[in-house]
Amino acid sequence: MSEAVSTEKCTKAPPFPQDRTCPYQPPPGYAEFRDQGAAVKGTLYDGSSVWLVTGYRAARELLSGGHLSADRQNPGYPIVSPRMEGIRHQPPSFVGMDAPQHTRHRRMLMNEFSVHRVAALRPVIETIVDEHIEAMLGQGGPLDLVPAFSLPVPSRVICEILGVPYADHAFFQETSRNLIQADSPEQALEAAGELGAYLERLIGDLLAEPGPGLLGRLARDQVAHGELAPHELVMNALMVLIAGHETTASMITLSVITLLHHPSQLEALRADPALATRAVEELLRYLSIADIAGTRVAATDIEVGGKHIREGEPVVVVHSLANRDATVFPDPDRFDIRRGDRRHMAFGFGVHQCLGQNLARAELEIALPALFGRLPGLRLAVDLDRVVPRDGGTVQGVNTLPITWGSGT
């Protein structure tokens, strides 16, 4: 009996996060988590233990019931990759806060991402998409979809919303990528410092002379009146700037790969562009690119699926597994653009649900039909096994995607 207990104590839970082997599928090792119930133990890169919430209903209940804390300065907050060590002690943006601080900051930003505001932006998004497709047609294939289209389209849109000069887009695209994909805490801190210094200068200029966009409004209405500290606006702007283009860029690129490798689904979309809205919802569910966004700390003792999670223990709500819960999504591993189920958790759930989800949906609904409609014969210019997914500790995606189009092989 004692030998059995000793063996159990020496056996570590499977690692989390893990790397994908296929850009549009969860890591093969996550199948082990799916078989163990709504909450299972995982092991982080530093050997520490973490609770993984994999069941859809448990995930929604925990994210909406005040059971979890998003406080990134809590000692129990899970650090899922070395790069996060470098930024955990920085002043947090509002996504790393709990109520009432989180509520106050989020309310300052909400109007810019409302359904009404995004609807008004659609003509702008359509123009940006068309301009980049025209440039691609002028250049001709093969080319890399990421720098030609996936990254600059959402980058220009978020510049429009924030009021960031688009002339600076190359700087913040490169620096935000260095932050998200840093190999060490030091690299992450360096990139965060460069972006923070840039935003400090921009906000200083906006305080001296009013300017457009979300930053201009907050500088004028909140910072100038002492209701928001300059460093708070910097951290919130940093979060919106990075999340506003990196995540959507990844979704555009992975959506193209997924549709190309499900030709019957792509043909259905081409035959009926009205399916775009439903297709986007299925792509969001199926791809689930933001597993690491579900990092939390237990705010109280919790019972999940017969497992006891103690207050202060690290928790990750694993969106990619919750979104493939067969009790909610029949045949969950099948990609079906007619499913169109908006109950997915690609944007999280509860008070921390993604602020920019309306914008992301609009960009995808516009970008994908335009790409496949205006680039007949769009296809990968390399075999899929040469397309390398990013590591599991960051926003899921690929850094390069060679494509071509037109006739020929």
Residue 11, pLDDT score: 67
Query: Per the domain annotation, does 409 fall within a domain?
Result: no
> Structure pTM?
0.93
The answer to whether 200 and 229 have CB atoms below 8 angstroms apart is no
Establish whether the linkage from the previous residue to 17 is cis, with ω within 30° of 0. yes
- Give the angle 305-311-317 at the CA atoms, nearest 5°: 50
Query: Per the domain annotation, does 11 fall within a domain?
Result: yes
| pLDDT, tens digit only, all 409 positions of the chain | 333 433 334 468 999 999 999 999 999 999 989 888 899 999 999 999 999 999 999 999 999 988 999 998 899 999 998 878 866 767 888 999 999 999 999 999 999 999 999 999 999 999 999 999 999 999 999 999 999 999 999 988 998 898 988 788 788 778 877 777 777 777 778 888 888 888 888 888 988 888 889 999 999 999 988 899 988 998 898 888 888 788 999 999 999 999 999 999 999 999 998 999 999 999 999 999 998 889 999 999 999 989 999 999 999 999 999 999 999 999 999 999 999 899 999 999 999 999 999 999 999 999 999 999 999 899 999 999 999 999 998 899 999 999 999 875 4
Structural domain total, the chain: 1
Residue whose entry in the numeric block shows the structure tokens 């909400």: 110
In this structure, what CATH number is given to the domain that contains residue 378?
A: 1.10.630.10
For residue 224, report the phi and psi dihedrals to the nearest 5 degrees. Answer: -60, -25
Residue-number span of the structural domain to which 397 is assigned = 2-404
Rounded to whole angstroms, the Cα distance separating 23 from 11 reads: 30
For 138, counting Cβ atoms within 10 Å of its Cβ (0-12 exposed, 13-18 middle, 19+ buried), the class is exposed
Query: Per the domain annotation, does 391 fall within a domain?
Result: yes
Tokens of 311: 């207050």
Tally the residues of the chain.
409
Rounded to whole angstroms, the Cα distance separating 100 from 206 reads: 27
Sheet holding 39-43, edge to edge: 39-43, 49-53, 314-317, 295-298, 68-69
Taking the CA atoms of the chain, what radius of gyration do you get in angstroms? Answer: 21
Residue 190, pLDDT score: 84
Query: Per the domain annotation, does 273 fall within a domain?
Result: yes
